[in-house]
Amino acid sequence: MSTVPLAIRPGEVPATRRVRPLHRWWRDAAGLAAWAMLLFVAALWVSDQGVQQLGNVAAALTSTGRLTGLLAAALLLLQVLLMARIPWVERSYGQDALARRHRLTGFTSFVLLCLHIVLISLGYAATDHTGLLAEVWDLVTTYPGMLLATAGTAALVLVVVTSVRAARRRLRYESWHLLHLYAYLGVGLALPHQLWTGEDFTASATATVFWWSAYAAAAGALLVFRVALPLALSLRHRLVVDRVVPEGAGVVSVYLRGRRLDRLKVVAGQFFVWRFHGAGWTRGKPFSLSAAPDGHRLRITARDLGPGSARLAALPVGTRVWFEGPYGALTGSVRTGRKITMFASGIGITPLRALLEELPYEPGEAVLFYRFSSPAHALFHHELEHLARTRGVRIHYLPGHRARGRASWLPALYASVPDHTILRYFVPDIAEHDVIICGPTAWASAVSESAQQCRVPRERVHFEQFAW
């Protein structure tokens, strides 16, 4: 294990980096803008005689199909914007909240897309007095842009199928991420069909301007925040691997150096998407900082959970590093008071260890619960003990497997006592603390439930879940 912390030395308290507070109004504005977009799309359908066409079965099917198609297109664009890494949206929501909304929006848009296909086909078949299959074949082979739209739909089906939780568990992160890029292909292939055959897209100047603006905004956000900005930052700071240090069983820390890192706007608790030249660099991998940034070097720590993280142990010194970020809202800006209690499970200790190094607090005001399955899997023991000695962090180690038969964040040793009772015993004033959690989804939920049973307000419970 590493014995010397990256930034702090005995008797030294690191200078607190300025953390920009979250802007709640950005979150509210983004939500209102999304709902306004959907209402405007519905208004365009109404203005194009959508309601008047509900008078008979065939026209009603076609008109309803048009509406579901319009809403599906709008939600697809919102889905792209949600994961475009727009900085002010990212900081307001955090990755967990954005990912949940991204999944909900994606599945809703896919359902509406399926309804659009079925309703339009039934409506056209009823109007032309033909069979459903014959009508579908005619639509695909004779209408402009429909072959491209069919290919786009197939791409979206692939994305949705691999996004189902059971399927995600069977895929490596790198494979899932690569397949997920087909969503952009699906959106792009649908555009010609919408412009060539979608009357609602060209029925008025207002509709045309709206849809072109919406597509341009989505494409622009992707190009600026997912391509141009990461490329510019990577070229500016020129990160390279400084050294690779084994931390424990299957865990390594990678130290990175570069130019003008004091100007990189990053704080403890955040993560980057990393690409290491020559080591699967085409597929980014998210890793949190495991030490507070000091303006000279950065450190990430990863467990061997797949090819992407396994390659880190073999990185040669001087390897060029490309990155996207920083991302994440699990920073000092979430604090509402001085006292803070942190919960880490396994590799989830990495961002919390960095936060303990960076945040300001007096001795006894910071508490850490650290759960791991065995001593061999405990990380940063010497560094954590150093923080306990020099800064007064109260640390409670929780080794061993969790209790069976109930949702608990504690080891089996405490199975006979309710979780919230143990929490209140170790931290009697827990209701006055901010609670920060980092670990697997089920474990984090159990911690959150215990904290709220101890009267910690919901808005003071903050967590970053390890789920994708």
The predicted pLDDT at position 368 comes to 97
Q: Which runs of consecutive H residues, i.e. helices, occur in 314-454? A: 349-358, 381-391, 419-426, 441-453
Low-confidence ranges of the chain (pLDDT < 70): 1-26, 144-145, 162-187, 191-192, 195-200, 202, 279-282, 305-310, 464-468
Q: Are 72 and 116 in contact (CB under 8 A)?
A: yes
Name residue, tokens 């074949």: 137
Nearest to 116 by CA among 84, 147, 153, 88: 153
Nearest in space to 158 (alpha carbons), one of 175, 188, 187, 180 = 180
Top CATH class of 24-231 equals mainly alpha
Fill in the amino acid letter for 357: E
Distance between CA atoms of 83 and 95, rounded to whole angstroms? 9
Domain covering 332-465 assigned CATH 3.30.2270.10 in the classification: no
Write the CB contacts of 283 (distance below 8 Å, at least 6 apart in sequence). Answer: 174, 177, 178, 275, 308
Phi, psi values for residue 372, rounded to 5°:
-150, 155
Please count the other Cβ atoms lying within 10 Å of the Cβ belonging to residue 28: 11
Query: How would you list the strands of the sheet with 321-327, edge to edge?
Result: 285-288, 271-276, 321-327
Match 């197939």 to its residue by tokens. Answer: 154
Whole-angstrom Cα distance, residue 268 to residue 247? 20
Alpha carbon of residue 336 to chain centroid: 24
Rg (CA), the chain: 26
Residue 356's contacts (CB-CB under 8 Å, 6 or more residues apart) are: 342, 366, 368, 384, 387, 391, 393
Sign of CA pseudo-dihedral 208, 140, 65, 70:
negative
| 3-state class (DSSP) for residue 397 | strand
Rounded to whole angstroms, how far apart are CA atoms 324 and 227?
Answer: 9
Helix (H, G, I), strand (E, B) or coil at 198: coil
Q: What pLDDT was estimated at residue 15?
A: 45
pLDDT digits (tens, 9 = 90+) for 50-94: 787 787 888 888 889 889 988 988 998 888 888 788 887 777 777
pLDDT confidence of residue 279? 65
Q: What is the DSSP letter of 296?
A: S
Token reading at 241: 């691997």
Sheet holding 240-248, edge to edge: 240-248, 251-257, 297-303
Q: What pLDDT is attached to residue 8?
A: 42
Closest CA to 358 of 301, 297, 293, 454: 293
Q: What are the DSSP E strand ranges found in 258-320?
A: 271-276, 285-288, 297-303
Structural domain boundaries in the chain: 24-231, 332-465
